[in-house]
Amino acid sequence: MKHKLLVSMVSSVLALTFGVANANDKGAPAHWGYEGKTGPAKWGALDEANSACKLSKEQSPIDIIDSKTKKAALPALDFKYVAGSAEVINNGHTIQLNLPAGSSMKVGSDEANLLQFHFHTPSEEKINGKTYPLVAHFVHKNADGKLFVVAALFKTGKENAALAPVFSALPAEGKPNTLASFDPAAVLPENRAYYKFMGSLTTPPCSDGVRWHVLKQPVELSKAQLAAFKKMYPMNARPVQPLNGRVVEVSE
């Protein structure tokens, strides 16, 4: 026991010091990050549970090339988001807002509950080869456990009032903030035209079967807000993945 504890302590110290993979014997997920030995190119090898990161043929994010998209009569994204409390956490990979039950999204015959949203900088999605400075991923789950993610891209401009209470007090790891009233709908752009494709989680274990909806119209945040996020997470975006024949549909 003592030996195991020591090994675990040493490996934790190493992980903290060098950011190396924390191969432990407790079955906990392997450490991962965005560069070097635990970066995206290594995710699939860090842990057997991450095999989809290297084997799946429908990985996210992707570069959406407008000329290669297929126009389609996609059902409208019907956001049934409500204001309520929100827990703002720093999970060591991003800042995430955990939301209470009550907000959902309806798309055609599919309805899924909003669980959380979080940020990546720069945007993981590229549009015609270009990244945006930030993206928010709204993660929804339906009754069958299927995930539906909505991506809202950000460009710099005026301050984002809805996110001001989040970006003005970004939490440290293990020290969540609680917002008494937060309206997730206020983060979405006015125009709800979107790109749709099948993809995956963009972080380990990279599970596929995730339906993606990338909103075409970006929203704004100030340079100061972006700088506050980047101070905590200078880069937390997975590189774009091959399409492997997938078709990206776009609202008509």
Provide the annotated active-site residues: 93
Of 55-63, 81-89, 134-142, 155-163, the window that binds Zn ion (rule: CB under 5 A) is 134-142
Query: Of 135, 157, 136, which is closest to residue 223 (Cα–Cα)?
Result: 157
Q: Phi/psi of residue 69, each to 5°? A: -80, 160
Residue from 137, 140, 196, 211 binding Zn ion (CB under 5 A): 137
Burial 145-175 (b: 16+ CB within 10 A, else e): eebbbbbbbbebeeebebbeebbeebbeeee
- DSSP string covering 40-105: GGGHHHH-GGGTHHHH-SS-S--EE-GGG-EEE-PPPEEEE---EEEEEEE-SS-EEEE--TT-EE
Name the residue number minimizing CB distance to Zn ion.
137
Write down the least CB distance from residue 5 to Zn ion, Å.
35
**Span from 13-21, 137-145, 188-196, 218-226 in contact with Zn ion (CB under 5 A):** 137-145
Q: By C-beta, is 8 or 91 nearer to Zn ion?
A: 91
Task: Choose between 107 and 152: whose C-beta lies nearer to Zn ion.
Answer: 152
| Residue of 170, 172, 152, 159 whose CA lies nearest to 224 | 159
Residue closer to Zn ion (CB basis): 7 or 35: 35
CA–CA dist 20, 37 (Å, integer):
7
Provide, rounded to whole angstroms, the least separation between the CB of residue 119 and Zn ion: 8
Residue among 137 and 213 whose Cβ is closer to Zn ion: 137
Fill in the per-residue mask, 86 to 125: x = in contact with Zn ion (CB under 5 A), - = not in contact. ----------------------------------------
Options 109-117, 131-139, 157-165, 172-180: segment touching Zn ion (CB under 5 A): 131-139
- Min dist CB 118 to Zn ion, Å, is 6
Residue 206 DSSP label:
-
> Residues 153-192: x/- map of binding to Zn ion (CB under 5 A)?
----------------------------------------
**Contact assessment for residue 136 and residue 203, using Cβ atoms and an 8 Å cutoff:** no
- Closest approach, Cβ 6 to Zn ion, in A, equals 36
- Which CB, 35 or 72, lies closer to Zn ion? 35
Q: How far is the CB of 137 from Zn ion (least distance, A)?
A: 3
17: exposed, middle or buried (Cβ count in 10 Å: 0-12, 13-18, 19+): exposed
User: Which structure tokens are listed for 193?
Assistant: 């035209």
> 42 vs 137, which CB is nearer to Zn ion?
137
Q: What minimum distance in Å lies between the beta carbon of 202 and Zn ion?
A: 5
CA torsion angle 244 245 248 249 (round to 10): -160
For residue 25, count CB atoms less than 10 angstroms from its CB and return exposed for 0-12, middle for 13-18, buried for 19 or more: exposed
Q: Does 238 bind Zn ion (CB under 5 A)?
A: no
The residues binding Zn ion (CB under 5 A) are: 137
